[in-house]
Structure 1
Amino acid sequence: MTEPLNRAPCATDLEDQAIEQWVHLTSGQASDADRHAFARWRGQSADHEAAARLAETMWQALPQTHTAQTFVAPPRRERRPLRWAALAAGLGALALTGLSEPAKVYFADYATAVGERRALTLEDGSQVWLNSGSALSVNYSAARREISLLKGEALFEVSKDAVRPFVVQSLGGSVQAVGTRFDVDRQGEQVRVAVTEGEVRVSSGGAVVPLKAAQRLAYTAGATPSATGVLDLGTASAWQRGKLIFNRQPLAEVFADIERYLPGSLVIAGRLPSTAVSGVFNLDDVPGMLDMLARTQPVRIYRMPWLTVVVVNQTRA
């Protein structure tokens, strides 16, 4: 059984009981008597009520697929870890969502596993650093050097070639280098581009935007790029050095950046406060990073294989 990073040990049994009962109530097998019994149970004390609310929040944050809706908790006599019973449906659903990954990701020329970072040297001498959970394919021809970023983040240091432009394609847009060093980060339906040296041209939605050193922007599929913003060169591409550096970054963005280093999925249960986070974190110690956030932010963090749940503590938010 995994333990939350910051909760009093005395709450463990109540939370386990609440999770087990909530799973049964949402399984389709519960009776009116079961629901009344749970109402009586949660009314015994403030701690019982808090445990019941936590169970509801965690469950509602999980993908509500057919698997989750039809899951039936195992008999009590098996005494298997209760959180495993409660979250088995959610984990199964998350495993199924992994199958929706575009097929081309699985046939990428280069890829990294979660937690892995990799340096590459392409045939023209250009350098590429792949971040955790990333994938790309390379297509060089006599007239063009094309990279398809299929997933995740990559940092490029491009060798000059006046004849063959160097272009990174991702999510329907492109980034063309002009002898430069730049980062392309594909997160969900958004691509973020940041330039540390030289200049690039970002094309998306029929618009072309020049981007110079110490500038950044983002675009979504089919849309024109955002306005350019200032890039903090002191923190840019810190992941290449095995660090994550935050300089008054919103808590929601911090968790979005951390998610790529976690196995499986990250679920936020509740609305995160608009806290600004600053700090330097070691990518080789992700549990320590989560522990620090759990101790300094109004959240509780539960880690399980293939799933990390962040529960917002409303009393502290």
Structure 2
Amino acid sequence: MSHLDHDMLADQAIERLVHLHSGRATAAERMAFNEWRGQSAAHENAAREAEALWGALPETRNAAQFVAPVRRSRRLLLAGAVAACVAVLAVVALPRPLAGVYADYATRVGERRSIELADGSRVWLNSGSALSVDFSTGERRLALHAGEALFEVAKDPQRPFIVRAGDTEVMAVGTRFDVDARGAQTRVDVTEGVVQVSKAASQPLRLSAGQRLSLDERTPEPAAVQPLDLDSASAWQRGKLIFNQRPLGDVLAELERYLPERILLTDDALRQHKVSGVFDLDDPDALLKTLERLQPVTVTRLPWLVLIRPAPRG
């Protein structure tokens, strides 16, 4: 199928789906849509893409009534739906910026920042992150409210260095480690030295260089300790993302933190495709271009959304 034919079917699928959710669709029109999608595998794929995209935009179902029932391109239809639910999407996107209101240090989406602390330690904040610092004569305590931070700790045996993320605490005396807090999940990577990881209602664990531990606030016990690829660990600090045979679903989740839009993969069959490559964080557009070059996908950027779908064959 040519690009033109694929886009034409995608246009038709979106147009029909918008009408079906408008509140004006009849039973006959719903049956007609089922018959339309059953005409061929290409029709069915276009219908599934449209349904996945529609479901990824919260509350856009009510926005359909604002879209005139005339044929338009997918981009215009979706832009109208997105515009109608900007307030809802803004609420979804706000937690990371809001954390910056009360934090001592914060980064915008796509921004990375290096900070030297009063004790000589250094912190690198990744995209969309927020950190507070509370040093006293007895301890050095920090709170990672959101995002990811790499810590290079100055030695001071009399004042332990403690980072809290959610219900997880990471303590080090002199070492280099990374804490990544995403909602209920926290990941700790150790690249130098030793840290002690404590979680409410579980025994403390010691992690050494080359080890990774993942924790979830919804489960009492942490996952098993995993080996850490030191060659690619914290590559974001150098402005790179390095993937070695990583599932496409994981890669997209990582890329999303550097983009203002959300990423939607319309075909779950692609989620386990392995990706190897180097991505340049200083050029967000290049992230998506590199992805298209590495994988059999087409990337479409819409307001608030990046749509990843299988590349047309032929």
Which residue in 2 is equivalent to 1:68?
60
Deviation at 1:140, TM superposition (A): 1.1
Deviation at 1:51, TM superposition (A): 2.8
Residue 245 in structure 1 maps to residue 238 in structure 2: no
Give the counterpart of 2:211 among 205, 212, 215.
Answer: 215
CA contact (8 A) 1:15 1:51 kept: yes
Which residue in 2 is equivalent to 1:4?
none
**Greater mean deviation of Cα atoms: 251-260 or 297-306:** 297-306
CA contact (8 A) 2:147 2:180 kept: yes
Residue 277 in structure 1 maps to residue 275 in structure 2: yes
Q: CA separation of 1:202/1:94 partners in 2, compared to 1, >3 Å: closer, same or farther?
A: same
Q: CA separation of 1:119/1:129 partners in 2, compared to 1, >3 Å: closer, same or farther?
A: same
Structure 2 gap segments, 5+ residues each:
none
- Secondary structure of the residue that 1:207 maps to in structure 2? coil
Question: 1:184 and 1:109 mapped to 2: Cα distance?
Answer: 17
Deviation at 1:99, TM superposition (A): 4.6
Question: 1:9 and 1:241 mapped to 2: Cα distance?
Answer: 40
Which residue in 2 is equivalent to 1:203?
198
Q: CA separation of 1:42/1:214 partners in 2, compared to 1, >3 Å: closer, same or farther?
A: closer
Question: 1:21 and 1:13 mapped to 2: Cα distance?
Answer: 12
**Greater mean deviation of Cα atoms: 103-112 or 203-212:** 103-112
Deviation at 1:237, TM superposition (A): 0.7
Deviation at 1:171, TM superposition (A): 1.3
Question: 2:90 and 2:23 mapped to 1: Cα distance?
Answer: 22
**Greater mean deviation of Cα atoms: 250-259 or 130-139:** 250-259
Residue 263 in structure 1 maps to residue 287 in structure 2: no
**Greater mean deviation of Cα atoms: 281-290 or 38-47:** 38-47
Deviation at 1:25, TM superposition (A): 0.8
CA contact (8 A) 2:100 2:130 kept: yes
Give the counterpart of 1:59 among 40, 54, 57.
Answer: 54
Question: 2:93 and 2:271 mapped to 1: Cα distance?
Answer: 29
Question: 1:289 and 1:161 mapped to 2: Cα distance?
Answer: 40
Which residue in 1 is equivalent to 2:300?
302
For 1:154-203, what per-residue CA distance to the aligned partner results, in whole angstroms no more than 9, with x for missing partners?
A: 00011111221110000101000120111111123211111111111111
1:74-223 superposed matches below 5 A: 74-76=67-69, 81-89=76-84, 91-99=86-94, 104-205=99-200, 206-221=202-217, 223=220
Structure 1 gap segments, 5+ residues each:
1-6
Aligned amino acid, residue 185 of structure 1: D
Q: CA separation of 1:11/1:169 partners in 2, compared to 1, >3 Å: closer, same or farther?
A: same
Deviation at 1:241, TM superposition (A): 0.6
Aligned amino acid, residue 112 of structure 1: T
Q: State the percentage of identical aligned residues.
A: 50
For 1:87-107, what per-residue CA distance to the aligned partner results, in whole angstroms no more than 9, with x for missing partners?
A: 445655322323566965531
Aligned amino acid, residue 263 of structure 2: L
- Secondary structure of the residue that 1:261 maps to in structure 2? coil
Aligned amino acid, residue 301 of structure 1: V
Which residue in 1 is equivalent to 2:232?
235
Paired residues in the alignment total: 306
Which residue in 2 is equivalent to 1:225?
222
- Secondary structure of the residue that 1:93 maps to in structure 2? helix
**Greater mean deviation of Cα atoms: 80-89 or 255-264:** 80-89
